[in-house]
Structure formats: C-alpha cells, structure tokens
Amino acid sequence: MTSPNHPAVEKLRTGISSLDIIAKGGLPKNRTTLISGTAGSGKTVFAVHFLAAGIELGEPGVFVTFEEAASDVRENMKSFGWDLAKWEEEGKLTFVDASPDPLVDTVEAGEFDLGALIARIQNAVKKVNATRVSVDSLGAVFSQFEDQAMVRGELFRIASALKGMGVTAVLTAERTDDHGPVARFGVEEFIADNVMILRNALEDETRRRTIEILKFRGCDHQKGEYPFTIIPDGGVIVIPLSAMQLSMKSSSVRISSGNKELDDMCGGGFFRDSVTLVSGATGTGKTLTVAQFLQGGAANGEKCLLLAFEESRDQLVRNATGWGFDFEKMERDGLLRVVCDYPDLSGLEDWLVTIQGIITEFGPQRVALDSLSALENVGTLKAFREFVIGLTSFIKHREITGMFTATTGTLMGGDSITESNISTLTDSIILLRYVEMFGDVKRGLTVLKMRGSAHDKAIREFTISKDGMHVGRPFGNVTGILSGAPMHVSPGDVERVWSTYDKLVDRRRPPEAASGA
Amino acid sequence: MTLYVTGTSPRTRVAIDNLNRICKQELEGRYELEIVDVLEHPQRAEDERILATPTLIKQLPPPLRRVIGDLSDKDKVLLGLEVRPGSSSSSNGA
C-alpha cells in the first residue's frame, strides 16, 4: 500500500483531536466522507465542528445546508462557542443556504438538474478559498424535489464536483434505525468514498452515543464503535479507548498513602502512577482512606483533586475535620480542590470529559474519586467500564496517583459490581471489612493486591479516632473475614493449623532448603 | 421574468425554446425576460437561493412564483406562473 508506486491516501488532520486518533491521522484528504446517523445523533454538530476545527487550523470552510436555514444554524451553534457570523465576516466561512423557502411555491415542469447548486458551491469555495465543505444533509435534498431519480443522479454529480474542487467534504445523511441500513435512501453510502456512522442508542434507559468508521476507501482506521459525547463549548468529543491503553508509562517512585502503617502494608507506599481501589461496605472508612490520601499529598505540597459523588462539600469538610484534616485550609493553600456533584447530572461520557477538563486545568498530582459505585447506575455496564478505563489511563498518562472507592452491597464480606468489573483495571486493591467478634463490630483492612510490589498479606484491625486511621495487629485468630462469616478460632487451633501447614510445605521442599528455612 | 440556466447545455436550449413558445402564445407583449447563466453569475443564483436549473422566476406581478424544469409541460408552467391563458389562444383545460 505504501510503496512509492501506490502512495497511501493522504489524510487531513481534522483538528477534532480524538477523532484523528480513531481515524489514524484524520479524514482522507480531497475525498468525501458520509456521516450517517439517526435523528439527534449529532450529525449537524459534527458537520459544523469539522468546519470550526478547520477554521482554527487556518482552513476556511463552506457549509451547505439543505435542512435548517443558515440563520438557525448560526443561532444553534452559538452554544458550542462557535461564532459562525464572525467567521463569515472574517471570510473564513460561508454558507450555501439551500434550505427550503416556505414562502416560495415551486412547480416542477419538465426535466431539470442541480447545476445551479453546484455552481453556488463552486462559487462559495472560491470566495473563501475553502479546503473543507460540509453538506447537511443529503436526505433533505430528496424531500425538496419530486423527481427522486434525478436527485440520486445529481448527488453523484455533486460528490464528484466536490472532489474536483480539491476540498475534503463531510456529507451527512439520515438513517431510520441505529442498526439498520446505512442511510434512508439507500444511495448515500455509494455517493461518498468513506462512511462513518453516529449512533445514539437507548440502552437500559440511558442514551449512549457511539461513532464508528465503517469504511475508509484505501486507508487504515480503527475499527468498532467508540463512545463519544457532545458538550457545550466542546462539540464532538470521541473517547478513543484503544489509544489510551497504549500510552501507559510505569513509575517506581513511591508516594505516601497519608498513613505510615498503611504505607508499610503496601511495601513502602503507592506507586506514583498507580490507581488504587478502596472497597468496603458503607461506613467502613473509605472516605477516611481518601481524606488521608489527600492529606498526605497536601502535606508534601502536592495538589489534590477530590471528586465527590456521595456527600456534599459541607459534609466532607465536617467529616474531615472530625478526623483531624483541615480541608478548608488545604483549599486556601491551593492544594486541594473538591468537586461535588450529583452523578446523574450527565452521562458517563460527559463526566469523563468534564473530569479530564478539570484535571488538565487544575493539574493535580493526586486524584480521588468517592465513589465509583455512585456512577455505576448512571450508564450501562459497558459505558461504566469505558469510563473507568478512560479515567484510569488518563490519570496514569499524566503520572497522577489515583484512588477510587467502591461500595459493597452487603455489610459483611461480599463484593460489588463496581469491584468485580474494574478490579483488573486498578493496580492496587485495599479491602475494608466489618469483622463481628463477640458482639462487637471491628474494622479490618487488607491489601489484596499491589501490582509490582510485595505487600503485607495479613488482615489487620484498624480503628478510627479524631486523628485519623490507626492500623493495628492482624486478626490472628479469626477466619472467614473476607467471606463475611468471621469465626473465632482458639489460639491453640491456629497454632496447630499453621504447624500442619509448615510440615506440608517442608515435606515438599528438598531437604537442604528445608533445613535452611 | 428571469430564467436561470447552466451554460449552453441541450437542456438550456430546450428550456429557452419552450419558454419562448409559451410566451409567444400566451403572453404576447406582456412580459420581460432575462436569461442568467449561473456558471457566469453564481452569486445571482446564491442571492435568489436557486438549486435547480433551469429555474424560471416570475417577480411581477406578485406573488413571486418559481417553475423548475425544462418547461416542456406547458400547463404546469402556466399553473406555476399563475397566468390565465391569453384570450388569443385556444382553450386550455387546467
């Protein structure tokens, strides 16, 4: 493909950065790309964003609108921060308004073609010296004329005329079903060289937007559906999961969890670019572990970000004060930012983009999210996993230390949906458990997993006081804590079990090694 | 009336011939016709928001009317222009 005789198709960097990743460099240059999607899937926004991103790169554009009047498009796009009227004044953008005019009656009397439209597009391209053209939407052309066969033929002519003008074009088309034919009139996909599909599927009562590159004639692209979102002041933002996973680094620098005893259990602290999951039932001390983690960061002069989805700011500050941490002072010193919000306010894709924005702007060294479980029900399980993958790789890439919490459904033992779905994505897992003993409820803590490091395997008792968390001795003579059915075992029994175990191990070892142990 | 056409294509010629014939039969002496080539004057097509060629626009008398196509269907042209067939002409069932 890339031999000198057959050069690969050149790509045009769109400037929609996340799209360029899944399109492996951008849209094929000087070609036409069909963007097909159901009503409300974001076609028009995409078409305008393509031009807006071009204008930011110094590439003027032409917007051909068959559906909405130019004045409506100008008005609607203001919310995305795109001032089309200003660009028109500056000669960076021009409209070809081909929307139906309700005031003019048109009668068809004999054969015709769309020669005037092509002449207008050519004129507009020449006028602003455009390199990009968006046409929105092809389906609306059919509704303007009775002679459908003529429209079919003319659309082909428009597509080839666009190529002749040396522009890279985006053509939108409607489809009736998220998983049906590519487009309504059955010809749209043949008009363009490339096809991309926008979906806005309803799954478990939540909307999930995805973008898929169906075909790029003669060049490479990433395959499958990628979640994307449309946000004010941002437009179309694709979340390219595969690209994220590739770029992870690994650090061997240790940082403090904010608690000396916990650091010791973790073999000297967390790794700088690691993500730790703290899992436990309600009230076991997850938020405390988080507060401690943030305090530890601030004590080192590191900036910390807390994303709180379960408690209000006031509650958090009050609780932290109860443990001896002064959140308000940390905020005044510019070392802490607390973001509290209702998880249901927006979709998970939006949350990811919002959180990424906050992290980029604030530049923290530590990020804590309390709790992931609160976000679990905002979208589908798939969307949730993608959110965690996206956030994890984003913060790792920036060498930020992360701590997420997950709430288990049952008080004793058990695991959570959150935990079972994302445990493989995190580097360390700390379990917090209630341990019932002789009518008392005690708290237990264990480091279940610590990627790339030795760690304490004991389940230790910890207490919470007005100066935070204190990790104490292991529950030496209790068994069944993790399964949620703790049982007290007499010290004699423990001794006997261990000595049997030791004998078994000794028997398997070669004699010389056994004597050394 | 203004007739918008593209270049000198066969369709352009058919439309001009048809229009001339209709005007002669029905509108003798009661019209002014301008022919605009959109390839030479694309901005005029832009200003009038014309998509199809040939397009015939009747500005006066109001209301504004548009007829698109090569004007081979005389009845539809007259209907579109809202012009009563001239008294000089033969009967014209609508």
The Cα–Cα gap between A234 and A338 comes to: 23
Q: What percent of chain A has pLDDT over 70?
A: 91
Residue A464 exposure: Cα atoms within 13 Å on the Cβ side? 21
Nearest CA among A436, A437, A488, A435 for reference residue A446: A435
Give the gap in angstroms from C-alpha B87 to the nearest C-alpha of chain A. 23
State residue A385's pLDDT score: 84
* Nearest CB partner across the interface for B53, out of A96, A103, A113: A113
CB contact under 8 A, B42 and A119: yes
Report the residue of chain A nearest B5, measured CA to CA: A116
Q: Phi first, then psi: give them for residue A60, nearest 5 degrees.
A: -65, 160
Give the nearest chain A residue to B77 (CA atoms): A109
CB contact under 8 A, A116 and B73: no
* Chain A hits for B49, Cβ within 8 Å: 97-98, 101
Residue of B nearest to A100 (CA): B49
Can you list the residues of chain A whose pLDDT is less than 70?
1-8, 240-250, 411-421, 504-517
CB pairs under 8 A between A and B: 106
Interface test with A, best of B38, B46, B72 (most A CBs within 10 A): B46
Burial (CB count <10 Å: 0-12, 13-18, 19+), residue A258: buried
pLDDT value at residue A244: 55
pLDDT at residue A2 in the model: 42
- Alpha-helix residue ranges (DSSP H) falling in chain B: 10-26, 42-48, 74-81
Is A116 within 8 Å of B71 when comparing Cβ atoms? no
Tell me which residue has tokens 């398997």: A508
* Interface residue of B51, B58, B74 to substitute, partner A, most A CBs within 10 Å: B51
| Residue that has been written with the tokens 């003019």 in this structure | A104
From chain A, pick out residues whose CB is under 8 angstroms from the CB of B9.
115
> DSSP string covering A264-276, please?
HHTTSSEETT-EE
Residues of A with CB under 8 A from a CB of B: 96-98, 101, 103-117, 119-120, 122-124, 144-145
- Residues of A with a catalytic annotation lie at 67, 310
Q: What is the pLDDT, as a whole number, of residue A7?
A: 54
Residue range B42-89, pLDDT digits in tens: 999 999 889 999 999 988 777 788 888 888 888 888 888 776 654 444
Which residues in chain B have their CB less than 8 angstroms from residue A100's CB? Answer: none
B50 interaction partners in chain A (CB closer than 8 Å):
116-117, 120
Question: Quick check: B68 and A122 CB within 8 A?
Answer: no
Instruction: Please list, in sequence order, all residues whose beta carbon lies within 8 angstroms of the beta carbon of residue B93, skipping any fewer than 6 positions away.
Output: none
Optimal mutation site among A66, A112, A126, interface B, most CBs of chain B within 10 A: A112
What does A372-421 look like in DSSP terms, one character per residue? HHHHHTTS-HHHHHHHHHHHHHHHHHTT-EEEEEEE-SSSSS---HHHHH
Q: What pLDDT does A513 receive?
A: 44
Could you tell me which chain B residue has the CA closest to the CA of A101?
B49
Please choose, from the candidates A193, A182, A97, A186, the residue with its C-alpha nearest in 3D space to the C-alpha of residue A144: A97
Q: How far apart are CA B31 and CA B37, in angstroms?
A: 20
Tell me how far CA of residue A277 lies from CA of A250, A372, A472, in angstroms. Answer: 18, 9, 21
